[in-house]
Amino acid sequence: MNRWGRSTLWLAAAVVGLGTACGAGMGGAFTAMPAGPQAAGVTTGGAQDIGLARAQVAAGQIPAPEAFVVEGLLSEHDIDVQGEPCREVFCLRTATGVAPAIDTGRDAAFVVLGFSSAIDLASFHRRSQNMAVVVDRSGSMDGEKIAAVRDALHRLVRQLGPRDRLAIVLFDDRVDVLVASTDLSQGAAHVEQMIDRIVARGSTDIESGLAEGYRQVLGHSSQSRDDRVILFTDALPNTGRTDEGSFLALAGSQASRGVGLSVFGVGLDLGQDLAVSITRIPGANYFFLENAQKVSTVFDEDFDLLVSPVAWDFDVVVRPADGYRIAAAYGVPDWVEGEGDGSARIHVPTLFLSRNRGVIVLRMEAEGDQQLSGQAVGMAQLSYREQRDGQQRRSSLEVTAIAPEQVVTEQPGVFAAVALVNTALGLREASRLARQAMPAESLAMLDRVNALLVQTDFGGERQLVHDLRQVIEARYPQPGAHVQLR
């Protein structure tokens, strides 16, 4: 039996319903059902993939460590934390397992919070949208980038219907309104004709483009539609305000007025740090469009889900039992340690519908001689605001561990979640070492990641490790030699 199978734990209190009663509405129409092949998942907002890192490796580049966004990698996968069937709009299941952390080599208890929903994807209908699409047409977008954006825009428009409103705003060093906010009750043929006129030019003033997009939305806000701005960009501002704080202030102020934001990044030179930062506000998410297949998946298959929040201000306060401490949280933008009491507060601005069941992972470590197995881990208090009615929901559960013999088969979602967290951490470290001209150490870390993935079905991640290894070996023909990275 492998190391995981010998030492893994399973949590009691396996499922907590946190949504409205079965069959209640979200403002869009849906049928509730026990979780199954047609049941929706739920994921956190922010980064939804690590597409930029994958594309850079495929192009022979060594990504920055930050390109391996942990919540992005988790969101790419459907992670099933098993428990009682979910019969509500939003359910939380909890489970935990003991395994070595890849960065320390020491055992840790990984507490997995798994999101699911009883919404039937086959019958779900999103709410009508009051939307402004803001398009970066600066010179850096020329060529394949702007062509990909035009393709995505055509696909997006075809997902809209007669009850939706749409505006299209273009920006470089100036802002033009290509299509003023208009209802689509007469169809969108005229909008599609305008899309083909978009060409790249000039420098990049993202803030002014975003500001106009928000104006187009707020000028037609109503209770019957959800407000959202969609931004296509390579996130390389060089005109106007270019600091992250200004973008966060603008997007945050509009989020407080109920305007969501979806950012779609394009290009291998994407300024991902900026894109990810401004989508960690309420109602925001981020996707990287690395190829035509991704554009098709996002806009032809998943558009209704990515504009459909389930819950806001999801908070988890975890107080570990005596002898344990919370070392880290993954799958969330950030987390805050308590003041002296060992607790941790995790805040997720928005939870969205998804085809994948998402997770948050807490890493807990024992202090001194305290044992990780067979012990109560602590207490969790949960709260969030439901999208449908804005009401605050609260719950709490005791996090108590028991140790079944066959946890790998009984809780494969826990195994998968921890493997993905360790994979993301290992890829970040391998990238950091390679970029600091330490190829031997980098390749050794990739070996450790690959050993983790051998036990999983994550073929895409195994391929990513293989391809990154080839890139590093090509860059450093003699891994033992420390040379400067160009």
How many domains, the chain? 3
Helices assigned H by DSSP within 297-411: 303-306, 407-410
Q: Is the pLDDT of residue 483 over 70?
A: no
**Of 2-11, 370-379, 421-430, which has the strongest mean pLDDT?**
421-430
Q: What are the percentages of helix, strand and coil residues in the chain, rounded to 5?
A: 30, 30, 40
Task: Count Cβ neighbours within 10 Å for each residue of 101-135 and write b for 16 or more, e otherwise.
Answer: bbeeeebbbbbbbbbbbbbbbeebebbbbbbbbbb
- Which CATH number does the domain housing residue 393 bear? 2.60.40
| Domain identity same for 382 and 397 | yes
| Domain identity same for 173 and 283 | yes
The stretch 143-167 carries a mean pLDDT of 95
Last residue of a domain, one of 391, 410, 429: 410
| Domain identity same for 24 and 116 | yes
| Domain identity same for 254 and 349 | no
- Which CATH number does the domain housing residue 184 bear? 3.40.50.410
| Domain identity same for 169 and 301 | yes
Last residue of a domain, one of 306, 328, 359: 306
| Domain identity same for 87 and 180 | no
Q: Is the pLDDT of residue 256 over 60?
A: yes
* pLDDT for 6: 29
- Joined together, the tokens standing for residue 439 give 């190829």
pLDDT in tens, 366-417: 776 666 555 566 788 889 887 767 778 888 877 655 443 434 546 788 889 9
pLDDT in tens, 32-88: 444 445 789 999 999 999 999 999 999 999 999 999 999 999 999 999 988 888 888
| Domain identity same for 146 and 284 | yes
Q: Is residue 195 part of a domain?
A: yes
| Domain identity same for 389 and 435 | no
| Domain identity same for 261 and 359 | no
Query: What is the length of the chain?
Result: 486
| Domain identity same for 286 and 430 | no
| Domain identity same for 216 and 140 | yes
Q: Which residue has the higher pLDDT, 309 or 389?
A: 309
pLDDT in tens, 77-119: 999 988 888 888 888 888 888 788 998 888 888 889 999 998 9
How far from 254 is each of 15, 111, 170, 262, CA to CA, in Å?
35, 34, 19, 13
Last residue of a domain, one of 286, 306, 326: 306
Q: Is residue 43 part of a domain?
A: no
| Domain identity same for 332 and 419 | no
* pLDDT for 411: 75
Question: Is the CB of residue 123 less than 8 Å from the CB of residue 39?
Answer: no
Q: Is the pLDDT of residue 24 over 90?
A: no
> Which range marks the domain in which residue 30 is found?
12-38+79-122+314-410
Q: Is residue 60 part of a domain?
A: no
Q: How far apart are CA 483 and CA 486, in angstroms?
A: 9
